[in-house]
Structure formats: structure tokens, C-alpha cells
Amino acid sequence: MSSVVIHDPTLRDGQHAVRHQLGVAALRGYAEAADAAGIPVVEVGHGNGLGASSLQVGRAAVSDDVMLSTVREALRHSKMAVFMLPGWGTSDDLRKAVAHGADVVRVGVHCTETSLAERHLGFLREEGAEAHCALMMSHMATPAELAEHAARAVGYGARAVGIMDSAGHLLPQDVTDRIGAMAEAVDVPLIFHGHNNLGMAVANSVAAAGAGAAIIDGCARGFGAGAGNTQLEVVVPVLERSGYATGIDLYALLDAAEFAERELMPAPPVAGSLSIVSGLAGVFSGFKHQVLDQSARAGVDPRDVFFELGRRQAVAGQEDLIVDVVAELSARKAAI
């Protein structure tokens, strides 16, 4: 069998679904369950990564320092990972994360803006950390463009590089084309991180493995922004049946998923109407709460907001654009 490394961002991407309010007990309990299941890498943090706790995207229940120290203490075998978006996090945040024992550090950038990661990847290389680069909103770039930016990321010091289907917009052939092009351009492990807006996250993850991805992301019960991420306890046995060894204990993984559903989330995410629209529009799933809040206040249809954001090619970090779009749609409605 071939093998893939499972990377579990339940305690980071899942934060989007609960407005970043996971507390110490939840963080510790899930980390212990994931460690017992043999999940190789467990990622923790605010949904938008290091340094992102703010009024703009939501205050976290506990600080980065508390999150990292709690999960580091709970992990006896699994590696601990963190995520950072340049502009939210800084080199000081990265330095603190490494000091807390972060084994893997992912730097996320828009898929055609790899240069924004250069300084941070170089810093991590000097620190000796395992630096990854994640190309976000990957549906907005061609396979050739992604291959070019993957090569740049490796040149900057990334020891793994990959794509995030941040809007849940891709179909399996889209994934195959993108990962395949990147595999020809770089010789480091490739990453795939899926979202489930169109119900394709597991299929897309299997397609990514088939095209050469060696690191597959998944969250317990799909816990994540919008319709959620690739469902971890589903994708692991599907990958195993497809010929990819993960080294994860199935029963313990199912137990971890049960804990996550019971202790982390009010209900497992589903591909509801708004999530489907955001996937079709190609808009970041993490906008869901803000779109709903702003639309309700203005009396406009949130589906129209998502399609307009898609036409404007909105990306993560442009949450302020939601306010502008809602105001314009409200003005148009009043003028009719």
C-alpha cells in the first residue's frame, strides 16, 4: 500500500463553526482522543490562525498561548501544528508557537500571492521548524499557476506545499489537474485540504491522493467553516479501502469523532442552502456568520450576498467587503 499522512485541523478550522469559542476542556479532551487514535498531526488555534483573535473576525475564548500549551501537553505521540495568515500573525507569533512546541507550521496565502509567505517561510527554515505553505482559494488559479506558486514556496523554504479548496468549489477532476501539475513542479509532499460545500470533500481528497498528494486534511465530523471540512472518520477508511495506509486506529478514531460531536459542536455541519451557494459562488466558507448577521440586519437575501461576493472574487481577509455588498444590495432593494 501507498501511505498518506493525515493532518487534523479540527481544533483550528472547527473554531469557525463555533465563533472561535472552544475552551480548554474541549481542546484538551479532543487532543487526547486524537492522540490515542494515532492521528499523526493535530492542528490548533483560532480559526484564522495565530494572532487572529480580533473584533473583525471574532475573539477567541482563550489566548493562543493557552491553546498551544493545552494541546501540547495533551499530545504524547501526535505532532502539534499551527496555522498562520500573514497580516494576522507575525514572526513573533511564529517564534512563540515554536517555543510552545509546534512541530508543523503552516503559512496560508492566497493561491497567487506566494511572495507574502517568503519572509515567514525563511524565518521558519532558520528556526528548524517543519514549514508548510497552503495555497488558499485554489479554484481561483489554473493548475499551471498553482504549480508555479508551489515551486516558489519550496524555494522560500516550504517542506510541504498544497492547496486548500477554501470555498468547497472544486470537483474531483479539478483536484486531479491541480495536484498533478504541482507534482510535476516540486519534489516535496503535497497537501490537500477540502471543504464540503458541494458534498465533494471526501471524493476530492481521494482524487488528491491518487494524483500524488501525501498529506490529506480532515476534521472530526467535518467540523469546520460553513458546510465543514472533509469528514475525518469517513475519509480515513475510504483512503484505506482505496489502497492508502494511514496508520490510524479506526475504533479510536470513531471514538474521537463521537467526543467531537458531543463536546465541540452544537451539531455536525451540513451542506445547507447557504453553504451550497457559497460553494457555487466560490466564496470562503468562513464568511457564513458575517453574511447571515449583516443580511438579517439589512433585510437582504444572504444568497444574493454570496453570489455578489463571488463576482467580486472576495477572499479571506476581506470581511469588510461583506458590509459594502450588503449596503449596496439594500440600497438597490429600496430603490425598486
Model confidence at 30: pLDDT above 90: yes
φ/ψ of 245, rounded to 5, equals: -75, 135
Which residues have a Cβ under 8 Å from the Cβ of 200 and sit 6 or more positions away?
168, 170, 171, 172, 194
Model confidence at 317: pLDDT above 80: no
Model confidence at 285: pLDDT above 80: no
What is the share, in percent, of the chain residues with pLDDT greater than 70? 100
Locate 258 and state its grid cell. Answer: 463521537
Q: CA 55 to CA 157: how far, in whole Å?
A: 32
Beta partners for residue 58, in sequence order: 54
- Could you read off the pLDDT of 171-214 as tens digits, one per residue? 999 999 999 999 999 999 999 999 999 999 999 999 999 999 99
- Could you read off the pLDDT of 94-147 as tens digits, one per residue? 999 999 999 999 999 999 999 999 999 999 999 889 999 999 999 999 999 999
Average pLDDT over residues 202-227: 96
Q: How confident is the model at residue 1 (pLDDT cuts 50, 70, 90)?
A: confident
Per residue, the 3-state secondary structure of 247-296, as one string, reads CCCHHHHHHHHHHHHHHCCCCCCCCCHHHHHHHHHCCCHHHHHHHHHHHH
Locate 187 and state its grid cell. Answer: 519534489
* C-beta of residue 232 within 8 angstroms of C-beta of residue 10: yes
Model confidence at 316: pLDDT above 80: no
* C-beta of residue 258 within 8 angstroms of C-beta of residue 232: no
At 17, the amino acid letter reads A
Model confidence at 286: pLDDT above 90: no
Active site residues: 16
Q: How confident is the model at residue 251 (pLDDT cuts 50, 70, 90)?
A: very high
Average pLDDT over residues 306-316: 91
Mean pLDDT, the chain, integer: 95
What is the torsional sign of CA 10, 305, 167, 156?
negative
Q: Which pLDDT value is given to residue 297?
A: 94
Helix axes 288-298, 273-281, angle to 10 degrees: 110
Model confidence at 226: pLDDT above 90: no
